[in-house]
Every structure is written in C-alpha cells, then in structure tokens.
C-alpha cells in the first residue's frame, strides 16, 4: 500500500458505518463536522488545549482536532449526537445533570465537557470532587468558573450509580 494524499476512510460513527474519501491531512473533527455534518463537536482552540472537540474513539475520550481522520479509519467514534440514542427526552443523564445544575452559559464547551465527564464516570463511577477536577483538566470553560460543571459531574455519577443499582435489582 503506497502513501496517498487522498484516501478512503471508513469510520463507525455513533454505531453507523460511514465512508468518505478525504485528504490525508483532514482532521477527525473536520471529518465529523464537514463531511458528516455532525456539528455538535466543536472546534475551540484548535491547539489541543480546550477540549471542545472531545469525542470517544474506541470508547476513550480524545481531542478530535488532534487526530487525523485517516488514523480513525477502521475505528469507532461516538460524538455528542450519539450519546443518548434511546432516551425519551433525547438527553443522556450527564446532559440532564448539566441542565439541572445550570452547568453552562454560552454552551460552546459543553459537548466536550459532557464527553469528558462520560469518560470520568466510566473510569471512576464514584468520583471525588478532586477526581472530577483532574478529569476536566483538558477542558476549558470561559463562562461558568467550573463550579456548576463539577456539581453536574457529581450529580451525573450519582444518577448513573442509582440507575445501575435499579438495573441490578431488576
């Protein structure tokens, strides 16, 4: 296989296999936004700092402005749009917690924050406040001062624990 400036990529996005021929230098975030029109994933700083572009790649939160679409070829991506396919109100429990705790003002950083919190709760189902703050080290919010985002993450973790307990009891 020779090196190519343009190449076909096949990425399973939110459970659906998607294919496109892209320039090799296409970033995953632009593949999602421009080719697939999934604009929930935002471009913030574009320099791997702000985390607004956070998506899950093979189930792990990454910054999609710092991954090539070509690197994601053959892999699975979950974006903010794919987080709550089965919820009646269209909201994932983390999104509901953000709403209830008023964890956003302008909302630009929110998709990335939610995707980072998803990773936190997967890694630490019962996180401490400090663990929440560490987990959000790669996400910048210029409005809220983070207090309500931390509260929302803690609320979402409690909700997930309650749901899991209810499921166990059948």
Binding site for another protein (CB under 8 A): 1-5, 7, 23-25, 27, 46-49, 51, 54, 57, 60-63, 66-68, 70-71, 73, 116, 119-120, 134-135, 137-139
- Minimum Å gap between C-beta 137 and another protein is 4
Q: What is the 3-state secondary structure (H, E, C) of 11-75?
A: EEECCEEEEEEEECCCEHHHHHHHHCCCCCCCCCCCCCCCCCCEEEECCEEEEHHHCECHHHCCC
> Residue 123 or residue 163: which is nearer to another protein going by CB?
123
| Radius of gyration from C-alpha coordinates of the chain | 17
- Minimum Å gap between C-beta 64 and another protein is 9
> Residue 100 or residue 124: which is nearer to another protein going by CB?
124
> Residue 100 or residue 146: which is nearer to another protein going by CB?
146
| Residue 91 CB contacts under 8 Å (≥ 6 apart), including other chains | 84, 99
> Residue 60 or residue 87: which is nearer to another protein going by CB?
60
- Minimum Å gap between C-beta 115 and another protein is 9
Residue 151: phi, psi to the nearest 5? Answer: -60, -40
- Minimum Å gap between C-beta 25 and another protein is 5
- Minimum Å gap between C-beta 95 and another protein is 19
> Residue 57 or residue 114: which is nearer to another protein going by CB?
57
User: In a 3-state reduction of DSSP, which class is residue 92?
Assistant: coil
Residue in 128, 65, 60, 132 with CA at minimum distance from that of residue 103: 132
* Structure token digits, residue 15: 């459970």
């Amino acid at each position: 296989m020779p090196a190519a400036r343009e190449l076909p990529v096949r990425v399973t996005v939110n459970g659906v296999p998607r294919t496109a021929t892209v320039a090799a230098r296409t970033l995953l975030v632009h593949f999602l936004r421009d080719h697939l029109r999934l604009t929930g994933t935002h471009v913030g700083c574009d320099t791997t700092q702000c985390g607004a572009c956070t998506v899950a790649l093979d189930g792990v939160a990454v910054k999609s402005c710092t991954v090539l679409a070509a690197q994601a070829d053959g892999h699975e991506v979950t974006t903010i749009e794919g987080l709550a396919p089965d919820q009646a109100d269209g909201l994932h429990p983390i999104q509901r917690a953000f709403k209830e705790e008023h964890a956003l003002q302008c909302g630009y950083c929110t998709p990335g924050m939610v995707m980072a919190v998803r990773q936190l709760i997967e890694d630490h189902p019962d996180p401490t406040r400090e663990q929440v703050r560490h987990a959000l080290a790669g996400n910048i919010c210029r409005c809220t001062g983070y207090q309500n985002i931390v509260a929302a993450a803690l609320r979402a973790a409690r909700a997930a624990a309650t749901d899991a307990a209810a499921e166990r009891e059948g």
